[in-house]
Amino acid sequence: MEFIDILRNIWFILIGVLFIGYTILDGFDLGVGMLMPFIAKDDADKKKLINSIWPVWDGNEVWLIAGAGALFAAFPAAYAAVFSGFYLLFMLTLFALIFRAVSMEFWHYDIKRKKLWAAAFSIGSFFPPLFFGLIIGNVMLGLPLNDKFQFTSDLSVIFRPFPVLAAVLVIVFMIIHGASYVALKTEGALHDKAESAALKLWPFAVFLFIIAVISIFFFFPERSVNPLMWIFSLLIFIVLFTFRLSMKRMKIWKSGFTFILSSVVLACLWICAGVLLYPNLLNSTGGGNSLSIYNASSSELTLLIMFVFALIGMPVVIAYTIFVYRIFKGKVKE
């Protein structure tokens, strides 16, 4: 294997790590937003939920920016194809994240329209997982690309069965992840409601994942023999059932254990997606025009310089993230 191929594979993994970090970190505060209408009975509960993510939500989204930036620098052709093909979904996601951020601030100060801003917070938390799931599902399933790697269809192709399944799966798992975080950060009735919500969604999550695994035989028959995919799929099932036990019976475990388990599930879902994609970054339904780490990468020098900066920058980001969460650890009080 040539040195540039080693760098290409390293950046495929590092970009995956960045997106896993974003999904775990921003996933719980998106889940909190989606949960709020169902578990917050009054403004006091809403304040606790918003305050539980207030110190960390903006730092969580840095991981998304870093992942997108790394994709742009390491694999510019794939970045161009994905972001141009899903331009509308990305813009809608951006607007949703903006309104979500604004709503948290205005909810505290615009007393007359608290209900409006609470609704904006929940709606703004719902659409990013929906759109991200659609995008990931379409990237895996493949898009009609021409010989210049350009998207050559209308938006109806985005709503095929597998991407829709991926979107629903992402939403459900993020809500469960958010419920685990609420259970970790709150106590009393709010804690119990979050735990109950996670337990109620658990059978639906298992059912959706079983359907997703079965669908692999239909949509990715040539990749269904990959042992890594089945190893991590089995791990997801094990973690899901451990999650169920820890919420219901194993009271010796603190709520933090269930949050770790839901984080592991999200990470394993990304690994399964990466295994099904590799070495491609964007599959083509036309065949022969797929964008892979080999035909979509930057030069060897660019990848090497980026890698040097990543060796310096990523430990700093990780250390800062750990520091922030240690500073703001503990239960949210009134």
Q: What is the CA radius of gyration of the chain?
A: 20
- In the Cβ-directed half-sphere of 314, how many Cα atoms lie within 13 Å? 15
Vertex 247, ends 198 and 189: CA angle to 5°? Answer: 65
Q: For residue 30, what are its two tokens?
A: 């998106």
d(Cα 107, Cα 113) in Å, to the nearest integer?
Answer: 8
At residue 41, the pLDDT reads 87
> In tens digits, what is the pLDDT along the chain, a chain of 334 residues?
789 999 999 999 999 999 999 999 999 999 999 999 999 988 899 999 999 998 898 889 889 999 999 999 999 999 998 888 888 899 999 999 998 999 998 998 888 899 999 999 999 999 999 999 999 999 998 888 877 777 777 777 889 999 999 999 999 999 999 999 999 998 888 988 998 999 999 999 999 999 999 998 888 888 778 899 899 999 999 999 998 888 766 554 566 888 999 999 999 999 999 999 999 999 888 655 789 999 899 999 999 999 999 999 889 889 988 998 999 888 887 6
Residue 147: per-residue pLDDT: 77
DSSP string, 42-60: SHHHHHHHHHHHTTTHHHH
Task: Output the pLDDT for position 177.
Answer: 96
pLDDT at 300: 94
- Could you give the CA distance from residue 130 to residue 76 in angstroms, rounded to a whole number? 25
> Which pLDDT does position 287 carry in this prediction?
59
Tell me the Ramachandran region of residue 250: left when phi exceeds 0, alpha when psi lies from -120 to 50, beta otherwise.
Answer: beta
**Count of other CB atoms within 10 angstroms of residue 109:** 8
pLDDT for the residue 252: 44
Separation between Cα atoms, residue 60 and residue 181, nearest integer Å:
14
What pLDDT is recorded for position 108?
A: 86
Cα angle for residues 69, 302, 93 (degrees, 5° grid): 10
